[in-house]
Amino acid sequence: MTTTAAVREHDSSALARVDLFLVAAAATVLITRAYLAATGYPQIGSGPLHIAHVLWGGLLMASALVAVEIATDSRVRVLAAVAGGIGFGLFVDEIGKFVTSDVNYFFQPAIALIYTVFVLFYLVAREAIARVGLPDHRRIAIAATAVTDLALGHLDDVRRRAALGVLGGVRDPGLTGTAAALRAALDAEDLPQLGVGSRIVRARNTVTRRAETVLGHRVVRRIVLALFVIQAVLTVVSVIVALLGVNDSEIDDMSDLVVTVSSMVSGALAAAGLWFLVRGPYLRALRLLRASVVVTLLVTQVFLFAQEQWGALTGFVVAVVMFECVRVAIRIEEDAASQDREQQGL
């Protein structure tokens, strides 16, 4: 196994639970806002009382936390991810009430704040899982959890095989005895083929593989490349217009300024990436294009959501597709480079 491949190893079950949490939270925000708009924002309670849905969110998050503290098996973690995600969605949906003096649910930047929170959660969680990786002691811990599930009757054959595969990577001489004992414990009687946790992990992996297949297709990559070209051209045009003083309109506020500057930075990075696509090296070009989209997602989109709220959703979806397409291309190039080094004996 090459070093590059080893770094990429991570706890796929943990990643699936994080994704499940965020999907449940985002879906809850969308469903809640759609329901309230369709029903005329009803009040739950009578007279001066109003039971805000943030309270139900706190109850669900507390229930998820207590469930994880009490339970010993991993199946509860999946249920806690769903319950906690729904609770967090109900909580963060009312963020406008807690950052305004007049308790304004319709505070315009609320959607931008919700978007920022979700993006930070996603990036931090994925980075934490990637950095932890799968050192030997973590492999032992994952297998031990599988043995616990086996004792409780909650382990299926798919997760058992996954745990045995994780144990196969243990190299520390001080842990080989423990790994052998766990392997023996997992080699028990026949188990059910597929449980709830494995279904979720398998579904996530299937969706990821299919999405990467589509995003790695030549036609899709050319479309994304064309979008980068358009972005670079628009940036050049906007700079020329600004320098010539054709546009005499003033920037209304700091939000407009940030959107303008971040768009120019993103466009400049895209232009540099397109330049290296022609001149090489190819991997540097892809990384510059990725940096361009990262600026868009982490800066430009935040302020666009603050200005346009749901109107910025289309641009967000396009940026995500562009980012994922470039990410897949980078992974393919890094894997190819790693294989070349391995064949050369480096």
% of the chain beyond a pLDDT of 90 = 9
Taking the whole predicted model, whether its pTM rises above 0.75 is answered as: no
- Which of 101-110, 190-199, 209-218 is the most confident on average? 101-110
Residue among 296, 287, 344, 285 at smallest CA distance from 320: 296
Q: Provide the residue type at 156 as one letter.
A: D
Longest dimension (CA), the chain: 78
Q: What is the pLDDT of residues 262-321, one digit of tens each?
A: 888 888 888 888 898 888 788 888 888 888 888 888 888 887 777 776 667 788 888 888
Q: Rounded mean pLDDT of 190-208?
A: 68
Q: Contact, 205 vs 12, CB < 8 A?
A: yes
Taking each helix axis as running N to C, give the angle between helix 282-295 and helix 313-343, from 0 to 180 degrees, rounded to the nearest 10. Answer: 150
Least confident of 8-12, 72-76, 105-109, 119-123: 8-12
Residue among 68, 55, 53, 69 at smallest CA distance from 21: 68
Q: What is the pLDDT of residues 320-345, one digit of tens each?
A: 888 888 888 887 777 777 666 666 65
Q: What is the pLDDT of residues 145-184, one digit of tens each?
A: 888 888 877 777 777 888 888 888 888 888 888 988 898 8
Q: Contact, 304 vs 259, CB < 8 A?
A: yes
Residue 4's Cβ-count burial label (10 Å; 0-12, 13-18, 19+) is: middle
Q: Does the pLDDT at position 2 exceed 60?
A: no
Q: Does the pLDDT at position 102 exceed 80?
A: yes
Q: What pLDDT score was predicted for residue 3?
A: 36
Own/partner pairs, 39-46, CB within 8 angstroms, 24+ separation: none
Give the integer Cα–Cα distance in Å for 53 and 196: 29
Q: What is the pLDDT of residues 16-58, one digit of tens each?
A: 888 889 889 988 988 888 888 888 877 776 667 777 889 999 9
Q: How confident is the model at residue 196 (pLDDT cuts 50, 70, 90)?
A: low
Q: What is the pLDDT of residues 48-81, one digit of tens each?
A: 777 788 999 999 999 999 998 988 778 888 889 9
Q: Contact, 60 vs 84, CB < 8 A?
A: yes
Q: Does the pLDDT at position 119 exceed 60?
A: yes
Q: What pLDDT score was predicted for residue 56?
A: 93
Q: Does the pLDDT at position 251 exceed 60?
A: no
Q: How confident is the model at residue 242 (pLDDT cuts 50, 70, 90)?
A: low
* Residue 211, token pair as written in the block: 């999405």
Q: Does the pLDDT at position 252 exceed 60?
A: no
